[in-house]
Amino acid sequence: MAQIIDGKAIAAKIRGEIANDVKILAGQGIQPGLAVVLVGEDPASKVYVSMKEKACQDVGIFSDEHKLPAETSETDLLALIDKLNRDPRIHGILVQLPLPKQIDTEKVLEAISPTKDVDGFHPYNVGRLVVGKPLFQPCTPYGVMIMLKETGVDLKGKDVVVVGRSNIVGKPVALMCLQQHATVTICHSRTRDLAAKVGQADVVIAAVGVPEMIKGEWVKPGAVVIDVGVNRVGDRKLVGDVEYAAASERAAAITPVPGGVGPMTITMLLYNTVESAKRQAIGNRQ
């Protein structure tokens, strides 16, 4: 049976360290501030935003909430971002995705100052990641990397298969693994013989958003399986992108859903916000 990689426990440990850093900053008269912008009523987004607000409160980060109606225009949202970019109390700006259809997501993400882009989605931060000199790293893939490190997985020379090519998870996690000297294959909906590709992986990272698409029998015995999927099936049940029970029979280690990668996403958001406050404090002193 596989070792369960406990995202909640790893997240709790890192959140303790973050709370400590926030206390040290308070001693210097600095409180990290995160602006959280939610447009519309998407039920999952509302849950994630309230989890982010609570997490901020728990570690002592100032959380500045902006809940806007679904019919908000792109112009109004861009005006709010411009205001937040210039607000010295705010060290991080997060616009919860997805956005309603009338708003151009790329335009909005590009409007956020790269120095407050704690989601790491601005093309400047994406470029920094590509050249191996990251400023802000996107939270979910960053969390995956921390989980692998905490589990003692050394990626050097390993075959990593990433299933999914989203800008939020698939592409950045592939770049991060490459940076750690893994040999990375990115698979997607048009990949031929996905089972064979997954079967060759020392580490499988599933981020495709399809419930239990990665079959347990595909997993190479002894592989490490990281499941980024959070899919709601039926009324309440959450399942990942991997067939958990069957994959656990073969893997050396596996993340559960819930309680795996999910809690790390918000943890790394807190981390990025505190790092941003530290950087801005140094910048102000120079």
| Three-state secondary structure call for residue 125 | helix
Q: Closer CB to ligand LMY7XDAE, residue 25 or residue 162?
A: 162
Cβ within 8 Å of residue 256, ≥6 positions away: 4, 5, 6, 7, 227, 240, 244
**What is the C-alpha separation between 16 and 271, in angstroms, rounded?**
11
Determine which one of 21, 117, 119, 241 is catalytic: 119
Task: With contacts defined by CB under 6 A, name the span among 20-28, 88-96, 184-192, 219-227 that binds ligand LMY7XDAE.
Answer: 88-96
Pairing of strands 237-239, 231-233: antiparallel
In the set 2, 112, 153, 230, which binds ligand LMY7XDAE (CB under 6 A)? 230
Euclidean distance between CA atoms 106 and 117, whole angstroms: 13
Phi/psi of residue 271, nearest 5 degrees: -60, -50
114-143 mask for ligand LMY7XDAE (x: CB under 6 A)?
-----x-------------------xx---
Tell me, residue by residue from 22 to 61, as one string, x for binding to ligand LMY7XDAE by CB under 6 A and - for no binding: -------------------------xx--x----------
Quick one: which of 192, 246, 186, 193 has its CA closest to 219? 246
* Cα–Cα distance for residue pair 228/41, rounded to 1 Å: 24
**Which member of 64, 96, 137, 241 is catalytic?**
96
Clarify whether 52 is annotated catalytic: yes
Rule CB under 6 A: say whether 84 interacts with ligand LMY7XDAE. no
Distance, CA of 6 to chain centre = 16
User: Is 42 designated active site?
Assistant: no
Annotated binding residues for NADP(+): 164-166, 230
Q: Does 259 bind ligand LMY7XDAE (CB under 6 A)?
A: yes
Stretch binding ligand LMY7XDAE (CB under 6 A), from 24-32, 91-99, 215-223, 241-249: 91-99
Could you confirm whether 102 is annotated as catalytic?
no
- Cα dist. 103→107, 247, 259, 283 in Å? 8, 40, 32, 33
181 Rama class: left (phi>0) / alpha (psi -120 to 50) / beta: left
CB of 282 to ligand LMY7XDAE, least distance (A): 26
List, in order, residues 6 or more apart from 195 with CB less than 8 Å away.
215, 218
Q: Does 164 bind ligand LMY7XDAE (CB under 6 A)?
A: no
Q: Which residues of 145-176 are buried (b: 16+ CB within 10 A; e: fewer)?
A: bbbbebbebebeebbbbbbbbbebbbbbbbbb
* Residue of 265, 272, 273, 276 interacting with ligand LMY7XDAE (CB under 6 A): 265
Binding to ligand LMY7XDAE, residues 167-186 (CB under 6 A): 168
CA distance 130 to 178: 10
Q: How far is the CB of 196 from ligand LMY7XDAE (least distance, A)?
A: 29
* Residues labelled catalytic: 52, 96, 119
By the criterion CB under 6 A, which residues form the site for ligand LMY7XDAE?
47-48, 51, 94-97, 119, 139-140, 168, 230, 238, 257-259, 262-263, 265-266
